[in-house]
Amino acid sequence: MAQQISLHAKTILVTGGAGFIGSHLVGAFLHHGARVRCLDNLSTGHFKNIEPFLKNDDFHFIEGDIRDYDACAKATQGCNLVCHQAALGSVPRSIEDPLTTNAVNITGFLNMLQATKAAGINRFIYAASSSTYGDSKTLPKVEENIGKPLSPYAVTKYVNELYADVFAKTYGVECIGLRYFNVFGPRQDKDGAYAAVIPKFVAALINHEPPHINGDGSFSRDFTYIENVVQANLLALNTASAKAVNQVYNIAVGERTTIQQLFEALQKGLSKLDPEIQDIQPQYGPQRAGDVPHSQASIEKAKELLGYDPKYKFAQGIEESIAWYWAQMQKQH
């Protein structure tokens, strides 16, 4: 990484810090010398993700909900920076329950922005989403050109960007939105109805079950390994350039992998550990409502203004993830 990262003497609030992405950020911030506060209601995050940090005097866990403004206000007191990761993810969940998705992702987001402003904190980094591109067919996706949202979840993430822009212009809060593209890696949840595709496929293959593919496998994604996301957040928290703030950035690798290619990569990697996996074939089903057919990011803006330089390509990230999931499975048996 071109820029030297130091978070010494900084107190950072990470909302959703017990989640998959949030817990990786907590670990990285502690590693770089920060004091870290984690606000999480443990609805989709897991206590086990933050357990390793509990012995660290620089880590403090607050169980609370971003829908509760008082909890947000208390959590921000005495912090220098806010890294807002808490949200209710999943397009299908938002289609089934738009009210809760809206309450968490919009009211919760506004609560955190207001609490940040009230506490006198001048930088607010937040998790934006590639879902904001909606029905835009242009590839690669460029930050300034978005389409119409295709799901309630996408609407909420777009509204976040609008609110951040207003708070930047009206109140002077420095906001940086990071539009994540299909983040994956260790600690990503394989359980539950709304589990992400990679841990779901891995769990099915390890259990000798056929993974379920929505559609014919031709839809594609810019799968982004977690360490690239950690790098982007560290840069966003550290970046001193006035040009870099009050912007939204694609955080991805800039490549496209089809769901079929993803299945084949996972099958190949896992077959080295268990040869029986090479004979498993996926089951194909109907396409999901609200799914964007193709997603690939232009990462030029993040490279230029943040100094972002993703170190992990898809193949390397898949290798690391397989090793982690396999090790977890061995522990359970």
CA dist., res. 102 & res. 109, Å (int): 10
94 to each of 151, 180, 213, how far by Cα in Å? Answer: 7, 18, 20
CA 200 to chain centre: 17
Please give the structure tokens belonging to residue 317. Answer: 């990230």
Residue tagged active-site, from 126, 133, 153, 249: 153
How far is it, in rounded angstroms, from Cα 263 to Cα 197?
10
Count CA atoms within 13 Å of residue 320 on its CB side.
Answer: 16
For residue 92, what are its two tokens? Answer: 């299908």
158 given a catalytic annotation: no
Instruction: Give residues with Cβ within 8 angstroms of 21, minimum separation 6.
Output: 85, 127, 180, 183, 226, 229
Active site amino acids? 153
